[in-house]
Structure 1
Amino acid sequence: MDTNKPRQQFVFIKTHKTGSTTSVNIFQRYVIYHNVTPLIAKATGYVSWPFPPAETDYVHTPGEHYDVMFGHMVYNKTWLQSKFPTNAPYISLIREPLSHLKSCMSFYSLPKLLKITSTNPIKTFLQNPWKYKNLSEAYFSFCKVTWDGTRNHLAFDLGYPTEGADDMEAAERYIKELEYDMTLVLLLEHLDESLVLLRRLMCWEMQDVLYDTAPKNVKNYSYKSYNPTPEELANLRRWKAVDYRLYDTFNRSLWRKIAGQGPDFYRELHHYRELKQNISWFCHGEQHRKSNLTLTVKTSQWSPQFVVDARYCKEIATTSLDMMREIRQKESFKVDKRWEIVLPVINVLSIIEGRPTFKYKIERMEYQKELRRKIPKRKTHKKKRNHG
């Protein structure tokens, strides 16, 4: 195999609440700019959750040939190996477990699930996480799977079951296997280093891995900046032991791989950061005001010359949903709403409200229709007209 040839096949496992909106744009752009065939869902960005996709969940191509995948899906090695070449790189993204818990607490409305009413649910929860175990373990009835948004959500997205939270021997074995399987796991806290390493491992060009520096999906909530006490952090490390082991493993792995790149890695990293900032300024400034303007990025020792134009500026800032529409249009894939997946956050809200969970949106809609039919109609009494 030519080690300098760009690797145009990959599987990106998009995890929840890890800043993956920024990263997935890179993989989506790669599909748009290169002649590769994606495996994508029939209706949403979710290929399936939490089980491997059913035959009806994704768009089938002639000969069942797929080069890339970049959607939400719980990692399942057996299923993925049945769809992608054996040498396809596997990539994912994780983040530091405390910041991940904060993000999940807000996004999934976990204080409601846990029946925590304090103004700082993180502090309340971390004082004794085990107290909330019966509430935090949400049971998704449609697939008979238990999910815990407070515990090892990162590990769950990468294929480790909720029930294994206390079995650290099994977790160690699984993480070791995962480390062997994954070409690279990006770290949100070191995203630039991760992406420069990705470029090198994939033999991609610089414009392939640049991203827009404007914040995306940024939400503020009262406990976002809360720093737990040492005792609370110790509780968290025990409660999310698998996630911490996962993060620590891939943190070490990242720096070990970077060390193997040699001293010019950091020169490239400096160049990358400078370039990323300049392109973002250009796209949100001059180019935004005059759409015909272009910026020529000169050849460097890490990448050939390329031109930043209106299309490039638009696409680095485009949401993942809009990018999906563009990919569907490019591939002539039509949306089939019959197989639209119910997002996990919606199913969590259903559990909070005491309602059943569903895989497909159409099933949920039918359930809601049936509920409305069962609600007795209020009788209206016509007033008798007084003719006297």
Structure 2
Amino acid sequence: MLKENPEDNSHLINTLFKRHDADGPNDSKTSVFSSNQKLLQTKKERRHIAFLKVHKAASSTAQNIFLRFALKRDLLVVLPFVPKFLYPNVISSWETVTDKNILPVPRGRVYEILCCHAVYNKDAFERIMPADTINIGIVREPFEHFKSTLNYIKPREVFNLNISDPVSLFLQKSTTYQSRTKMGFVNNRMAFEFNFPADIFKTRDKTGIETYLQKLDREFQLVIIVEMFDESLILMRRLLNWGIKDILYIKLNAKKKLFERITFKPGDVLLYKKWAELDYALYHFFFRRLQVQIHAQGGTFYEELLYYRSLRQDIEIFCEKKPIPNVTYHVSNSRWSDAFEVAKEDCAYMEKKEIPFIKEIRMQQYGFYNDTI
């Protein structure tokens, strides 16, 4: 049970949260959030980030934060090596980073930010990223994730069913239309991108699931919860010692209207829960972990959260207005940040779509949009 004094929870925090040591190799015995005081006293801005960009989990909004951070500081982003007719923002939807699917490191540089779509693999990520890299993931409430996947990707295994309500039919007979071991966008997709072993997909063994979650617990310092996006970003800001301006955002790719063939019946959520048990285990594990991380921060966390939300509302209002030359939004210094200005250029980058943003960074880093080398 969590205690009121965050310091009294240190044994629990040290058990749940591990990190990479800032000045050397990985140290699985050191906690990211071992104490509020230690975290807030950290002065070094963390610049080496591996973000697992999970499909249909508000990951474009989160990615935009990392791309802006990289652009401002001229950090090298790991970019896909793809022909011009493929998506220039996707390293791979089916495998992890390899020498063949990413652009090579320019001479005299090292990879610093990884935030394009790729399946997680600890060894592959560590092979290309610096030793002090912070791993950050993102997950979404599984049924909401399922709805978004249906709406955007329109997977064939569901919509090829010749019936007026294909989603409910699919959920009633999931294994008839989708093998447990066949990877797709409606078979525990979040767990797939977190690289759950294939045998767990087949057996759904609870011990195996728990063992793999403990492995992820050691390897990811933070997993953003979409339903607690602002809270997750405040934790991230503190973990990385970034500024408030660095985590400002405007929602991207938010599409509320559902495709006309997406309909549900009572009981569909429970059916999906049985089918997507890996995704639910993943989400519940990191949702609970986030609560402990927040509790460890003490009361100042909620003060900063309220400040951040009010500021973000004002920034959105400012960004919605037509550009006026040389007019900026001034943010006074606070307990959480030095004073800074938000210009219309900042708004443009917060609103910048993923593919144009990746193309701009590719041009900055390599001098071309498409792979021609």
Q: TM-score w.r.t. structure 2 length? A: 0.81
Please name the residue that 1:248 is paired with.
Answer: 284
Do the aligned partners of 2:91 and 2:118 also contact (CA within 8 Å) in 1? yes
Do the aligned partners of 2:94 and 2:118 also contact (CA within 8 Å) in 1? yes
Unpaired runs of 5+ in structure 2? 1-22, 24-40, 83-87
After superposition, the C-alpha distances for 1:54-98 in whole angstroms (9 at most, x for unaligned) are 423222222562111111000011111111122210011110111
**Which of 60, 78, 88 is residue 21 of structure 1 equivalent to?**
60
Do the aligned partners of 2:165 and 2:264 also contact (CA within 8 Å) in 1? no
Computing the radius of gyration from Cα coordinates, the structure with the larger value is 1
After superposition, the C-alpha distances for 1:18-43 in whole angstroms (9 at most, x for unaligned) are 11111110000000111322221234
**Which of 238, 243, 262 is residue 200 of structure 1 equivalent to?**
238
- Alpha-carbon separation, structure 1, partners of 2:369 and 2:199: 35
- Alpha-carbon separation, structure 2, partners of 1:233 and 1:298: 46
Do the aligned partners of 2:151 and 2:259 also contact (CA within 8 Å) in 1? no
Letter in 2 for 1:321: I
- Alpha-carbon separation, structure 2, partners of 1:56 and 1:149: 24
- Alpha-carbon separation, structure 2, partners of 1:159 and 1:308: 39
Unpaired runs of 5+ in structure 1? 138-145, 340-388
1:67 is the counterpart of 2:85? no
Q: TM-score w.r.t. structure 1 length? A: 0.78
- Alpha-carbon separation, structure 2, partners of 1:97 and 1:49: 19
Please name the residue that 1:47 is paired with.
Answer: 91
Do the aligned partners of 1:155 and 1:243 also contact (CA within 8 Å) in 2? yes
Letter in 2 for 1:250: F
Please name the residue that 2:149 is paired with.
Answer: 104
**Which of 163, 176, 181 is residue 131 of structure 1 equivalent to?**
176
Q: CA 1:118–1:272 in structure 2 vs 1: closer, same or farther (change >3 Å)?
A: farther
Letter in 2 for 1:121: P
**Which of 132, 136, 159 is residue 91 of structure 1 equivalent to?**
136
Aligned-residue CA RMSD in angstroms?
2.4
C-alpha deviation, 1:304, in angstroms: 0.7
SS of the equivalent of 1:148 reads coil
1:218 is the counterpart of 2:218? no
SS of the equivalent of 2:148 reads helix
**Which of 325, 330, 337 is residue 296 of structure 1 equivalent to?**
330
1:233 is the counterpart of 2:233? no
Q: CA 1:127–1:271 in structure 2 vs 1: closer, same or farther (change >3 Å)?
A: same
Q: CA 1:304–1:120 in structure 2 vs 1: closer, same or farther (change >3 Å)?
A: farther
After superposition, the C-alpha distances for 1:104-146 in whole angstroms (9 at most, x for unaligned) are 2232222555632344333332233233234x86xxxxxxxx3
Please name the residue that 2:122 is paired with.
Answer: 77
Q: CA 1:187–1:247 in structure 2 vs 1: closer, same or farther (change >3 Å)?
A: same
1:56 is the counterpart of 2:100? yes
- Alpha-carbon separation, structure 1, partners of 2:270 and 2:328: 52
- Alpha-carbon separation, structure 2, partners of 1:115 and 1:57: 31
SS of the equivalent of 1:16 reads coil
C-alpha deviation, 1:300, in angstroms: 0.9
Q: CA 1:163–1:106 in structure 2 vs 1: closer, same or farther (change >3 Å)?
A: farther
Please name the residue that 1:345 is paired with.
Answer: none
C-alpha deviation, 1:172, in angstroms: 1.8
- Alpha-carbon separation, structure 1, partners of 2:304 and 2:76: 30
1:310 is the counterpart of 2:369? no
After superposition, the C-alpha distances for 1:130-189 in whole angstroms (9 at most, x for unaligned) are 33234x86xxxxxxxx31322210010111145522332222211110111001110111
**Which of 175, 200, 203 is residue 164 of structure 1 equivalent to?**
200
Do the aligned partners of 1:148 and 1:162 also contact (CA within 8 Å) in 2? no
SS of the equivalent of 1:307 reads strand
Do the aligned partners of 2:119 and 2:192 also contact (CA within 8 Å) in 1? yes
Do the aligned partners of 2:52 and 2:118 also contact (CA within 8 Å) in 1? yes
After superposing the two structures, state which structure 1 stretch, 44-53 or 68-77, moved more: 44-53
- Alpha-carbon separation, structure 2, partners of 1:59 and 1:131: 40
C-alpha deviation, 1:4, in angstroms: 1.9
- Alpha-carbon separation, structure 2, partners of 1:37 and 1:302: 28
C-alpha deviation, 1:197, in angstroms: 0.9
Do the aligned partners of 1:102 and 1:224 also contact (CA within 8 Å) in 2? no
1:284 is the counterpart of 2:320? yes
Do the aligned partners of 2:52 and 2:119 also contact (CA within 8 Å) in 1? yes
Letter in 1 for 2:332: K
Please name the residue that 2:38 is paired with.
Answer: none
- Alpha-carbon separation, structure 2, partners of 1:338 and 1:116: 41
